[in-house]
Amino acid sequence: MPVYVYAITSDSHPLRLEELHGVGDPPVALHTIGGDSLRAVVSEVPEDLAMSRRDLEAHHAVQQSLGADGSILPLSFGYVAADEEAVRGVLRERAEEFSKTLETLSGRVEFNVKAVENEDGLLRAVLSRSEQARRLNEATRAGGGSYEDRLALGELLAQEVQATEEALAAEIVEALRPLVHSQQLSPPSQRYFLNASFLVEEDRAEEFVRAADELAERYGETAEVRVRGPLPPYSFA
């Protein structure tokens, strides 16, 4: 029978599951599957499992509660194993790897930092420092200037905005680096020019949040800096 897997822990984890409930409606009960030195927290797979807010929150709540009691390897939402024996096999085969990762994650949490451009503020910043951009902007204002001028302005602004975003992203990461154990950077996207995950010691979490909030205020005219966490360490598991 397939099983839904929430997380992997060491066999020393207290695993207080009595008051926790899994995904589904009604929520399914949780239990564990053991390897030699590891445990997987699992449940039956409910028939109505869906990428719904209800199930996402239930999945996250289980991991948050387990993480508060000890180190865990959190699995992404919707991970289903073929059966319990398949889970035991993975726990046995990858016991050394999983145990080392659990040691690395012990006492640490994840924060995610994203940055979204403030288009008007970013363009003002580009125009304030680029004489060529200002000249072309004046020439093309209110429909003036040649086609070549408008094309040159568009290309120049795109280049300058990208360069500014790259510089801002690097500054934010560099400012936070002294506060973290490790980091994972995702490629920029159309939505976020910075998407970074940081593994942070639990006793430095408040310091990290303060530093991130200060960066959000510092760059507020050109970018919106968003901070989420503490989270289960998905990016580092």
Give the angle 144-150-155 at the CA atoms, nearest 5°. 160
Helix (H) or strand (E) segment spanning residue 117: strand 108-117
Name the pLDDT band for 48 (thresholds 50, 70, 90): confident
Per residue in 152-169, pLDDT tens? 656 767 777 788 889 889
Pick from 11-15, 105-109, 144-148, 196-200: least confident: 144-148
Q: Residues 21, 76: contact at Cβ < 8 Å?
A: no
Q: Residues 205, 86: contact at Cβ < 8 Å?
A: no
pLDDT at 131: 66
pLDDT at 75: 94
pLDDT at 237: 84
Per residue in 163-210, pLDDT tens? 888 988 999 999 999 999 999 999 988 889 899 999 999 999 999 999
Please say whether the structural domain 109-236 has been given the CATH code 3.40.50. no
Burial state string for 175-199 with b = 16 or more CB within 10 A and e = fewer than 16: ebeebbeebeeeeeeeebbbbbbbb
β-strand partners of 117 = 223
- Read off φ and ψ for residue 77, nearest 5 degrees: -55, 135
Domain residues of the chain, as ranges? 3-106, 109-236
Total-model pTM? 0.80
